[in-house]
Amino acid sequence: MLLEVKDLVVNYGGIQALHGISFNVDEGEVVTLIGANGAGKTSTLMSLARLTRPEAPEVRRGDILYNGESILKTEPHELVQNKMMSLVPEGRHIFGNLTVQENLTLATYARKGETSEIEDTEDLVYSLFPRLKERRKQRSESLSGGEQQMLAVGRALMTGATFIMLDEPSMGLAPILMYDMFRALREINKAKNMTILVVEQNAKVALDFASRGYVLDTGEIIAEGSSDVLRNDERVKKAYLGG
């Protein structure tokens, strides 16, 4: 088991955002967390990425284990330096005043002495997202929303992490770009055994992409199982699949 979340309780000040959730992700898996706005999906990813307050919540109880060891005392930069996990945040948060190439290069700051490996990763990013290669000298603020999302994913890959977490990757994307994005993620999962945890409000897309998932509702996991099981769960169909 690569990631294990055990009875996690997190607070924003006096407001509890997660009420003791537990879930796991195995190496090489694609797992999704689905739920409505305010369900606790982003709070979960921020906690896993060990982001700090006030932007991120405070872990009050429970544990987060990576390869069997607690990471509660691990700093965010240490997760990246050790190539453990990388977060693609909601809203992309790319550096708009930098070019595409500069954004990608910046993500390799912790990969000292890995010139050939970095070049291989860059080649992979550009093969997954040819639009980025065409625009590599362009300032990233001039990219379309879909292209910026591709850049955010590419930047996460450039860290060398073997586990990437994505927060609402389909948000604001036209359908064709959304499916291009998930196609590329599926390719990297298969080619590199990349572990992926995706938070997504579009339940249909998420369940088509992931092999299994968890449903969050107001800070609690109310359903879990394979994608097929969740598609046929009456609560999921009624609340998230329009059935």
Pair (71, 98) in one structural domain: no
pLDDT per residue as tens digits for the range 147-191: 999 999 999 999 999 999 999 988 878 888 888 889 899 999 998
Among the candidates 105, 125, 160, a domain finishes at 160
Pair (165, 70) in one structural domain: yes
Number of structural domains found in the chain? 2
CATH code where residue 198 lies: 3.40.50.300
Q: What is the mean pLDDT of residues 20-44?
A: 96
Q: In the chain, what percentage of residues exceed pLDDT 90?
A: 77
Pair (155, 165) in one structural domain: no
Pair (79, 107) in one structural domain: no
Which pLDDT score is estimated for 243?
58
Pair (140, 204) in one structural domain: no
**How many other C-beta atoms lie within 10 A of the C-beta of residue 72?**
12
Provide the domain limits for residue 202.
1-85+161-243
Pair (132, 108) in one structural domain: yes
Pair (107, 71) in one structural domain: no
pLDDT per residue as tens digits for the range 97-155: 999 999 999 999 989 889 999 999 999 999 999 999 999 999 999 999 889 999 999 99
- Asked if 183 and 190 count as a contact pair (C-beta separation under 8 A), the reply is no
* d(C-alpha 30, C-alpha 19), whole Å: 24
Pair (81, 52) in one structural domain: yes
Question: Is the pLDDT score of 215 beyond 70?
Answer: yes
Distances (CA, A) of 90 to 46, 135, 152, 161, 200: 10, 22, 10, 18, 10
Among the candidates 138, 160, 182, a domain finishes at 160
Pair (72, 182) in one structural domain: yes
CA 232: distance to chain centroid? 25
Distances (CA, A) of 166 to 88, 143, 149: 5, 20, 10
**Model confidence pTM above 0.85:** yes
